[in-house]
Structure 1
Amino acid sequence: MVNNLNQSFEFTRVFDAPRELVFKAWTEHGHFAKWWGPKGFTLEVVIMDARSGGRFLGFLTSPNGNLVMWRKFTYQEVVEPEKVSYIQSFSDEQGNTVGAPFSGSWPLEIMNVITLEDDEGKTVLN
């Protein structure tokens, strides 16, 4: 299978929370570690510098503890409370990009762009 970095998909979610709080859920260690990753996995954040040019480094541990997956982000653009864009990769403990542990065809880098819009006290995430 050939990786095609031009493939994309979009989704929209509406959160019953103010935009500022949803933004913090994406950019602050205490919030982010509580929800990000597959269900049942725990996230340990090593570095979280969620600003334009900043980086994230952390690891996910499976419920049984048998699988540990390091992840890294390189933040491209962070505009409070409107936008978070970053390049996401699997990594080693030092933050070097590595292939996904579950698929040789998974892209080495994935660009993510999250936008947040206020809608009468709720937040629309695109």
Structure 2
Amino acid sequence: MSDIPVFTITRVFEAPRAVVFDAWADPEKMVQWSGPPGAKLTTLSGSITEGSAMHTRSDHPQMGTTYTLALWREVRPHSRIVWEQSFADETGGKVLPSFFKAWPLTLLTEVDFEDAGMNTRVTLRWTPIEGSEEDFAEFARMMSSMNQGWGGSFDELEKFLRD
């Protein structure tokens, strides 16, 4: 595929960069806000460190149970986190989600943290890196709904940072 779609979302959070970064890099904090609103995330195994994998479970009243696998490529304190993200099965193997006919098997997630005065600007980029042209096309087609999905997670992060 010649033109790989890239989804980008940016938000400024009213908290210092170290605090916002820690909400992403500490698994105990991350599970409190990450995922779709209403979801309860549980870390099943692993940690957020370069070169490691983390397997999580998400339970949502409407969406049921899903699993994800994150392979951490880069964790640069207070500035950048990069990981490969996939849907997974109960054992941590990569799978296609049952609710999509087509979807990339793996997405590269890049999150950059920058000072914005006393606040923090977070820019997230999501790029499909494993899948067919059909999977990548579906990703591109779904980008408008990703604003709602990631926007909902960012709303939850804002609430978490205020509490």
* Residue 31 (structure 2) pairs with residue 10 (structure 1): no
Give the corresponding residue for 1:20: 18
Aligned to 1:54: 52
- Unaligned 5+ segments in structure 2 are 124-163
Query: 2:43 & 2:19 partners in 1: Cα distance?
Result: 19
How many residues were matched structurally?
123
Displacement of 1:94 after TM fit?
1.7
TM-score (norm 1): 0.89
Q: 1:80 aligns with which of 73, 77, 82?
A: 77
Please report how far the alpha carbon of residue 63 of structure 1 lies from its aligned counterpart in structure 2 after TM superposition: 1.8
Render the CA deviation track for 1:41-99: whole Å, top value 9, x for unaligned: 111111242121122111101126x7110101001111001000001001112211011
Give yes or no for the alignment of 1:123 onto 2:120. Answer: yes
The root-mean-square deviation of aligned C-alpha atoms, in Å, is 1.8
Q: In 2 relative to 1, CA 123–97 (structure 1 residues): closer, same or farther, beyond 3 Å?
A: same
Going from structure 1 to structure 2, the CA distance change for 1:4 and 1:102 (only over 3 Å counts) comes to farther
Report matched runs for 1:19-38 at 5 Å. Answer: 19-38=17-36
Give the unaligned 5+ runs of structure 1: none
Q: Which runs of 4+ in 1 moved over 4 A?
A: none
CA contact (8 A) 1:29 1:48 kept: no
Per-residue CA distance 1:17-48 (angstroms, 9 max, x = gap): 11111111111122101111111111111124
TM-score with structure 2 length normalisation?
Answer: 0.70
Contact kept? 2:27, 2:48, Cα under 8 Å: no
C-alpha distance in structure 2 between counterparts of 1:101 and 1:58, whole Å: 17
Identity of aligned residues (%): 28
- Mapped partners of 1:112, 1:4: distance in 2: 20
AA in 2 matched with 1:29 = P
Amino acid at match of 2:53: R
